[in-house]
Structure 1
Amino acid sequence: MAPMIFELDKGLAVLICLFIAVIYVGSLYVWVDDKNKSRDHPDTIKRRFTSVSVICVVIPILLQCFGTSSDSENVRSVLYLPLILAEIVIRSVLFLGPLTLHYVDGVFRIYLEPRYWTNSLKNLIWIRNHIVAPISEEMIYRACMLPLLVPCFGSGMSVFLCPLFFGVAHFHHMIEKVIQGRQALSEAFKQSLFQLCYTTLFGAYSAFLFLRTGHFIAPVVVHAFCNHMGFPAFREVMAHPNTETRHKLIASFVIGLVLWMALLYPITSPFIYSNDIYDL
């Protein structure tokens, strides 16, 4: 399939992105039998796997109606080794603090156990969080939306505009919690508002990586890793009983953030990845 070029007006580009976001989230609720089941129920997970798989096939096909074929022969490989290695470095320094905490708590040892990986690959929740969600969400919210937004708004503004669709889409978790009686409306709203802020910030970072590298694998790798690590456990660090260890953990968080800021631009240089599509 030839690369596509999109030249839409701003209003239409935003409407299409909104439509894509609604369709993606809406596909999760087409199963009538899942209304009273948790999102972590095996039946719900399997059916949603089917839904997002269909959406990830249909949306790119529908987008062909709004673009024109490009004569560019610049075809990119999804499995690009330098990019994967670069992402390992970036995410490791950014999460230096949480990784150090894992080491101090001894959590890292489970990653050395083959049984952990075999059991994980049999766990539907693990597969959802580490494989299906990162691939499907990055395809829809980055690979499909950014090519529509960048020609209209430019790369810089698109980095901050695109994540809004991603962040707002996560509000559907609040509806599930309230309907199923697992949380009061006020509590669910507060939790979802925090998640909105967190996912929007992550979405901006993910969009930045996509535009800088020009590769789909970049946001997928970092998305899977962030899903695994979760939000940094700052409270656990500050409550650590050993003062010396607590100071070392705080230092690792600061050092990780500084190293990440220093390495982000050099490691994601478009020149390294032969990215001549986007300018950011």
Structure 2
Amino acid sequence: MLVAEHLKKYYGKHRGVEDVSFTIKPGEIYGLIGPNGAGKTTTIRIILGLLYKDSGTVKIGEHDIPKELNHVKNKIGYLPGEVNFYPEMRIKEFLKFNRNFYPQIESDYEKELVEFLNIDVEKKFKELSQGNKKKVGILQALVHKPKFLIMDEPTNGLDPLLQSKLYELLEKEREKGTIILFSSHVLTEVERLCQRVGVIKEGNLIKELAMKDIRKYTRKLVTLYGLKKPEKLSGYELVNHNGREFTFSINRTELRSFLNELVNLEFDDLLIRNPSLEESFMEFYAEGVEK
């Protein structure tokens, strides 16, 4: 298992994290969610031994971190939020260099990942786009078949096709029994991948949710322009009204019935979108520190 208990970290007088605790079991994907500045990256860096905590404990398997990090280091795969390797090094040279740290790397599996992610190994790292740099980071995190996989905002900079490939790889890892932790601020992504999520607010893990619970927070914002007889939709949450423009917050489980209601109403146009980051977390944060 991967266990974090009562993690606390301050940068001088500035808070990193105040109190974060969670446990991840083998074959489980755990999402750490919250807006930027909530403490997700600090938590991940403490778990990896890249930051010293002020208090609390971290265990990866049976090993205390950072004290026994060397015993488990080659079993960890890590993808940072921004991937920056040696700019002048060609990708094929980087892969050869990476094998020095992980003697268990299988050349066939490395080749399989290169082809699956469509990585051009002849290019220098500095020549790659942000998305292609992320591809190399994904490969480096997975190629040694880690038992613990930790990813910080893994889909940042990825196009939808590559996101889908990453989801496929993560699901395969989960099926192998890999323990997976990743941070995100996108609820729809978390809903697709995770078995459980932890919500961080201002350095505190305020809530843990199973997927059946997270679905009630996955909403769409539907704006109707030129809507006549808005009273016919009084059973749904109206979050904004400006003249003949009406915006409703619709739970995913209600979306079909809401759209069926629209068939019998007159309106000029409609827009359906995902809530912004702040809108997504408003409901979580309104509930305080109940866990």
TM-score range, shorter chain: under 0.3
TM-score (norm: length of structure 2): 0.24
The higher radius of gyration belongs to: 2
The structure carrying a bigger helix percent of its residues is: 1
Higher relative contact order, chain-length normalized (CA < 8 Å, sep 6+)? 1
Q: Which has the higher strand share?
A: 2
